[in-house]
Amino acid sequence: MELDDYHPMPFSSSIYRKGAEIYRQGGVALDVETGKGIYLLVEGEHQRYNVRLMSDDTYNCTCRLGSLKAGKGVLCSHIVAAILFVSAGGRRTGQSD
């Protein structure tokens, strides 16, 4: 699973930077993994959000942007952070086995 798999529409570089920073700071944690998808907890500026990355290549987040734009190909920084985390095998940057 790579970031390119999840963004059919371009997203702003500020959203990517914010998501990458959340990921680098360890703000993503695996909640549950099932055959249908991966559920993660992602730290936001004011609260923790639930992000779902589904096996059918759909995704959503409980933040305002994620809720308003769900299913419309729009990524929020929390989804970006979750995808980076999963792409790295569930580890932060620089973390090894």
Q: Does 24 fall in a domain? A: yes
Q: What is the pLDDT of residues 2-22, one digit of tens each?
A: 555 554 444 678 888 999 999
For 55-94, b/e burial (b = at least 16 CB within 10 A) is eeeebbbbbeebeebbeeebbbbbbbbbbbbbbeeeeeee
Domains contained in the chain, number: 1
- Amino acid at residue number 47: Q
Residue numbers of the domain that contains 49 = 3-87
Q: Does 79 fall in a domain? A: yes
Q: Does 67 fall in a domain? A: yes
For 22-41, b/e burial (b = at least 16 CB within 10 A) is bbeeebbeeeeeeeebbbbb
Q: Does 92 fall in a domain? A: no
Q: Does 96 fall in a domain? A: no
Q: What is the pLDDT of residues 36-55, one digit of tens each?
A: 999 999 999 889 999 999 98
Q: What is the pLDDT of residues 43-93, one digit of tens each?
A: 998 899 999 999 888 888 999 887 777 667 778 999 999 999 999 888 655
